[in-house]
Structure 1
Amino acid sequence: MSSTQDRDPYPDALRACALLVVVLGHWIATLPRLEDGQLVATDHLLAVWGSAGFLTWLVQVVPLFVFVSAAVSADSVEKRLREGAQRQWWALRALGMARPTVTYLAVLTLLALVSLAMGTRLLGLFNTSLTVHLWFLLMLLTVQAMLPWCLRMDRRFGLGAVAGLVLVAMSLDGVRGGVSSFADLRWLGDRVSSASPGMAWLNMLVVWLVPQQLGIAWKRGRFRGVQAGLALLALGAAWLVLALGSGYPVAMVGVALAGNNMLPPTLALVGVMWLQAGAVLVFEPLARTLLAGRVLGRAVAILGALGMPLYLWHKLAELPAAWLGEKLGLPIDAGVPGEAGFWLGRLAWIVLCMLMVAPVIAAVVAFELRRVREVPAMADWKAVSLGGIALYAGLAMALAWGAWPGAVAGLACVAFASWRLRLRGGNG
């Protein structure tokens, strides 16, 4: 794209909507628990409301984000492939994640050290919650590194590449479930859910490549229109009915509270991918009409610019929201669904989180805008490799160990990655 005027607003709007759904979904899922007016723990919505598993079919929008990101990036990566500079493209993506993550982990490190020194309790209650969302950055880095390969697969096989990935994912689930005959497929979900992942951990890559491959095919015009969208919606609905009938869990998030279709991803999650791709096509005519208006277009542009900061920092808003909720005596602990005041408590919690995240995002954006934009190393394979390894290691440590000690250990690695991925003195 040569200018912002030439940029297609529809994919940007889809990513902005996906981002808002993720943020609100995370806040809704967190249930503060108070005793004598003090926060003592946090529950997960799925732990107290079984039917919430069906809501995850709507709020698990990571496949949509991968789908749209692939479509948006396809032309840029094709150009890099022709120029032999695809490594720089991935380094730019990695650097774009590493630099703001350094700031986030630095703040978590400071909070952890202050909390240890003062003996405060709130950080401990939110410790792993403050870094759990970093899994998405690890996954996105990995699948985007595979974009050149996915583009070649699309050129050669078209939609057959999507079908091939689904068959591989199906085979891995079959191996996990010990399938030896067609009769075993009837209870595949039960068998998969009760077995250890083993080789099926490969689906951590294969399943997430499905929406990426599908997004490339959409960009290349291999499927278009409302009719194709309705067909995908029907496929997704039938897929999910069969998946649940065979025993796969309902919930599409990475928790064991209502089953687990995420660690590693299962065939059931693919059904959500069909639904989301179908919805993209069905709502496209209406969305493009609405996006022609100046107000909505500006809102999408603003959300797009705030995407990375909002995703990184939205979980941190829960910490001051809990503190303020305690001090003001607000009904942030509203029991369980069905009890009086539950949804009022949810509303109070979400409003608090929104109020707390706004000044944080404003400060972060102001800080990031003052930083000099760096260019990633173009040809130094060693710089890109070391930077990439350090970034993976830092994110993994923060994800596994939480704010303490994960953020402290992860900060060193991610800071090194940010430094190593930048072009310094022309030699990386």
Structure 2
Amino acid sequence: MTEVDPAGATAGRGTGGTAAAGDAEGLVARDRYVDLLRAFSILVVVLWHWAFTILVWGPSGPSATSPLGFTSGLWVLTWLFQVLPLFFYVGGYVHLRAWQRACARGEHLGHFVWRNIRRLSLPALLLAVVWIGMGAGLGAVFDVAWVGRAVLLVISPLWFIAVYLGLIALMPAWLWLREHFGAVPLVWFAGMVVVVDILRFRAGMDELAYVNMVLVWGLAFQAGFSYEQVVRAPRQFDAALMWAGLFGLVGLVFSGLYPGSMVGVPGETSNMAPPTLCIVALLVFQIGVAEMARPSLERWLERPGPRRVVEVVNRFAMPVFLFHTTGMAIGRGLFYALTGEIAEKQVPDTAWWLQRPLWIALSLACTLPVIWLFARFGHRRPTGGSPRVAAP
């Protein structure tokens, strides 16, 4: 779970922090609202993939699409449910507080960065190696060229892990910027995103657009360093963030320069690969929405049931994210074995929508055993060492 110092976020408007027994550093308080935002982000990503991935088979093998390309107006929902900006924002705060505690213990910044990179990268590398090895073996034995594309679909969410690892590796730079310039670098980064987008859309410099992978996600991560200031700000500030982000999105999308969807849609320019200025506006909007909803959701978190659900989701956040596409692939394989149908209808109809809960249930049922195996493997590691840091 995410633990913060008592003088941190829970000292502001938040009411959801509760005391918990800490380590040698003494009593700490848990910001349960941060845990809720993390849990919400993970669940949205996983459920979106399980419910809305449409598998299409062509001459070269499988590819994925979604109902966004076939259902008019559905892209508006991505303004709330494209949660990666919010996740990187929370991640920045989590790692800042983790570093502050590590620094108080006397840990060197380089060791802190390496410890977190190692903890996050090892399971991701294991997953990639297993799938790539299986794909190579199956491709060689059965002489099927499409296996590589199938493996790529399963491990494609690991791009997020790669970006997150890069942000952790740049912790010294983020900390230096915060120490010397405060929140000003957020404006610099947003300005550089504008320049990159102009060069991308007006000058056709598409390759340069991938600089925004660092600029946009770095901005979100760096914004998390200001989480406590946002929490302590008056509600008028939260409303200003929400409306500024919303009006920014409306202006950018209806200018005709950017697509409306905040997730990738086949055949359209993407706001995500690489990210655009729309994602910056989306971040501002989502931070405002999260803070406006804080009082009601913190009261909800005072109930034992919701609090327990959030704790469980956060406990298994890493394996759920890593293995949810593996479980989905196993479920698709079982469905094909039982029915002989390997592709779905490309144009969703009423029956397709009614089947979404069944696909979620099947994917969940196939993911849980994989997580169980991962948990057994994880429990065999040597005990001791540095305390765990919530990541991603």
Alignment TM class, shorter chain as reference: 0.7 to 0.9
Q: CA deviation at 1:47?
A: 4.0
Secondary structure of 2:157 counterpart: helix
The residue number in structure 1 matching 2:318 is 308
Alpha-carbon distance in 2 for matches of 1:326, 1:146: 44
Task: Report if the CA contact (8 A) 1:71-1:218 is conserved.
Answer: yes
Alpha-carbon distance in 2 for matches of 1:338, 1:71: 39
Alpha-carbon distance in 1 for matches of 2:94, 2:234: 18
Alpha-carbon distance in 1 for matches of 2:297, 2:234: 13
The residue number in structure 2 matching 1:24 is 47
Task: Report if the CA contact (8 A) 1:332-1:348 is conserved.
Answer: no
Q: CA deviation at 1:125?
A: 5.7
Q: Using a 3 Å threshold, how does the CA distance of structure 1 residues 76 and 349 change in structure 2: closer, same or farther?
A: closer
In the alignment, residue 65 of structure 2 is paired with which amino acid?
Answer: H
Secondary structure of 1:371 counterpart: coil
Alpha-carbon distance in 2 for matches of 1:90, 1:339: 48
Task: Report if the CA contact (8 A) 1:332-1:349 is conserved.
Answer: no
Task: Report if the CA contact (8 A) 2:117-2:168 is conserved.
Answer: no
The residue number in structure 2 matching 1:44 is 65
Task: Report if the CA contact (8 A) 1:162-1:213 is conserved.
Answer: yes
Does residue 71 (structure 1) correspond to residue 81 (structure 2)? The answer is: no
Alpha-carbon distance in 2 for matches of 1:255, 1:58: 16
Secondary structure of 2:355 counterpart: helix
2:37 to 5, 9, 14: 14
1:238 to 238, 247, 267: 247
Q: CA deviation at 1:249?
A: 1.3
TM-score by length of 1: 0.74
In the alignment, residue 11 of structure 1 is paired with which amino acid?
Answer: V
Alpha-carbon distance in 1 for matches of 2:38, 2:340: 33
Q: CA deviation at 1:375?
A: 5.1
Task: Report if the CA contact (8 A) 1:334-1:343 is conserved.
Answer: no
Secondary structure of 2:326 counterpart: coil
The residue number in structure 2 matching 1:142 is 166
In the alignment, residue 263 of structure 1 is paired with which amino acid?
Answer: A
Task: Report if the CA contact (8 A) 2:63-2:153 is conserved.
Answer: no
2:371 to 361, 364, 380: 361
In the alignment, residue 244 of structure 2 is paired with which amino acid?
Answer: L
Q: Using a 3 Å threshold, how does the CA distance of structure 1 residues 110 and 298 change in structure 2: closer, same or farther?
A: same
Task: Report if the CA contact (8 A) 1:321-1:353 is conserved.
Answer: yes
The residue number in structure 1 matching 2:261 is 251
Task: Report if the CA contact (8 A) 2:117-2:169 is conserved.
Answer: no
In the alignment, residue 128 of structure 2 is paired with which amino acid?
Answer: L
Q: CA deviation at 1:91?
A: 0.7
Q: CA deviation at 1:282?
A: 0.9
Q: CA deviation at 1:330?
A: 9.6
Secondary structure of 2:36 counterpart: helix
Alpha-carbon distance in 2 for matches of 1:222, 1:171: 31
The residue number in structure 2 matching 1:397 is none
* 1:21-420 aligned within 5 A: 21-33=44-56, 41-45=62-66, 46-49=68-71, 51-80=73-102, 83=106, 85-116=108-139, 118-119=141-142, 123=147, 126-177=150-201, 191=202, 195-221=204-230, 224-246=233-255, 247-254=257-264, 256-329=266-339, 335-337=345-347, 339-373=349-383
Alpha-carbon distance in 1 for matches of 2:33, 2:85: 16
Deviations 1:208-252 (A, max 9, x none): 122122211122457634322221110111111111122211222
Deviations 1:71-109 (A, max 9, x none): 122133245567471111111111111221243134314
Secondary structure of 1:358 counterpart: helix
Alpha-carbon distance in 2 for matches of 1:43, 1:202: 25
Q: CA RMSD for the aligned pairs?
A: 2.9
Gaps of 5+ in 2: 4-21, 387-392
Alpha-carbon distance in 2 for matches of 1:142, 1:15: 19
Gaps of 5+ in 1: 178-190, 377-428
Write 1 or 2 for the structure with the bigger share of helix.
1
Alpha-carbon distance in 1 for matches of 2:183, 2:167: 18
Between the two proteins, the alignment pairs up a number of residues equal to 357
